[in-house]
Structure 1
Amino acid sequence: VGESKDVVRKDVRAILNKMCQVYPASKMFNFIMEGIKSKNSKQRAECLEELGCLVESYGMNVCQPTPAKALKEIAVHIGDRGTTVRNAALNTIVAVYNVHGEQVFKLIGNLSEKDLSMLKERIKRAGKKQTVTAPAKQPEEKPQRAQNANTSLQRKAPPEDMSSKLK
C-alpha cells in the first residue's frame, strides 16, 4: 500500500475493498493494523487511511481485538513526526468520532497534551465541513458465504429414460 505510484496505490485500495466483500472486514482490519507497524511512513499512512475507510463503511464492530486497543494503537501515530502519518491517524480517529462521538476519548485513553489538542482541533474543523445529521445505520459486516461457489450454477435436469420411447 505504501507504493509511491498513484496508480498502484489506487489499485491496491480497490483490491482491499473487494476483499471485504468476500472476507470479513474485521479480519481485514487486523491485517491492515499489522501494516501500521511498518518502518515505511507511506505504508503506515496508507494503512491508517484504509482503517478509517473500514470504520466509515462498517462501523466500530470491525475494530479488533477490541475498539479500545485498536484506537490506542492508532492514536500512537498522532505523535508521529511524519505529517502524512499524523494526518492519517487524525483522520481515522475523526472517522470513529463521527460514528461514536465523545466515546472516542474514553476508548483512546491517555494522550499527551499536544496530541489531544491536535485531535480536538481536527474534530472541530471536520465538524464544520460535515454537517452531522442523525447517525446513519451502519451496514453490517457481511459473513463469509457458507455455500460452495458451484452450488449457484444451474444444473441440467436428469436425463429422461429413453427406453420407453424406443419401443
Structure 2
Amino acid sequence: MHRATAAGHIPDLIRIGREINNGMARESANRLVRAMTKAGHQILNARVLIQGVTFKENCPDIRNTKVFELATALQEWGMEVDISDSWADPDEVDHEYGIRLIQAPKGTYDALILAVPHSNTISAGSEPLRALLKQGGLLFDLKAAFPKELSDLRL
C-alpha cells in the first residue's frame, strides 16, 4: 500500500481490505458477546480461553498475530481471558507481550475461541476443546477448522 501511494495511486481496495483485517479482532469479540448474551451467559467476568496464539497454524512464529488484539477486545468487555498454544514458545510470548500461556483446566470456560487451528488440535477433534468448557459453554471456531455442526459460532 505504501509503494502504491508513493507512486501516485490510491489503493482503495487494498486500504479497505487492510481496514477490514485490522477490525476483525474487535468484530470477533463483538460476535462472541452477542452469541453469549443470546445463550444467556453473563459477560462481565466470563472466562474465555483463546486456543492458539501464533501467526498461523503449525508454526511457532508469533510475529504479526492478531490474537493479542482479540484478547484485549474481550478484556474491554470485562471478560477474563486465558491463552493456550502448543506451538508457541511460552518464554517468547511472555517476553514479547507480557502474557503467560497456560495449560487450560477442564470445565473452566464460558467460551473457547479456536483462533489458530494447529493440526494436533484439529486431529484430536472438538471434544477435547469442549471438555474445557463449562456446561453450556460456547465453542467459537474462527477458522472454520471443524465442520459447522461441531461449533457454536464461526466467522
TM value normalised by structure 2: 0.31
Higher helix content, 1 or 2: 1
Structure exhibiting the larger radius of gyration computed from Cα positions = 1
TM value normalised by structure 1: 0.30
